[in-house]
Structures are given as C-alpha cells and as structure tokens.
Amino acid sequence: MTAETETQTTAVYRVTGMTCGHCEGAVTSELTALPGVTSVKAVAAAGEVTVVSAAPLAEDAVRAAVDEAGYTFAGQA
C-alpha cells in the first residue's frame, strides 16, 4: 500500500524474520539511512514496516536495506 500527499509518500512493506524490538531497530536503522526517508515504524508482530519518505522509494533500495539488516523483504503490504 502506498499513499501520496503533496510532500510525503507512505508505504507499508512486509518483512519476515523480525521477532523482537532489536529486529525492529535493525530494520528501522537501515531504512532510515535511505535518502528521503523521514520516518520508519517497524512492527515485528505484524511483520510490517511503514516508511514515510519525501518521494516514492525504489523497491530495490528497500529490499537491499532490509537484506542488510538481516531480514527478508516480502514486498508491499
């Protein structure tokens, strides 16, 4: 799911393998480092990460960041 406003884009991604707050922090840290990202909220219990950015993000960049954190990107929710 992606929602766009005049100044921000919000996208929800499915991420598998997160089980705790540490996992959420690792994914959040990697995604926050992407250019244009202004907010990240990872929820391990739901297996979802909500990313707010200045413009839509390339899926490959999101996948690479999640992979770098040690988890599996499963696409947009």
CB-side exposure of 44: number of CA atoms within 13 Å? 12
End-to-end CA gap in the chain: 6
**Across residues 44-66, what is the average pLDDT?**
97
**21-49 residue pLDDT tens:** 999 999 999 999 999 999 999 999 999 99
DSSP state for residue 51 in the 8-state scheme: E
User: What was the pLDDT predicted at 7?
Assistant: 82
User: What was the pLDDT predicted at 13?
Assistant: 98
User: What was the pLDDT predicted at 35?
Assistant: 97
The partner residues of 72 in beta bridges, in order of sequence, read: 16
* Ordered structural domains, the chain, with CATH: 2-76 (3.30.70.100)
Structure tokens at 56: 């839509």
User: What was the pLDDT predicted at 3?
Assistant: 65
pTM of the model: 0.90
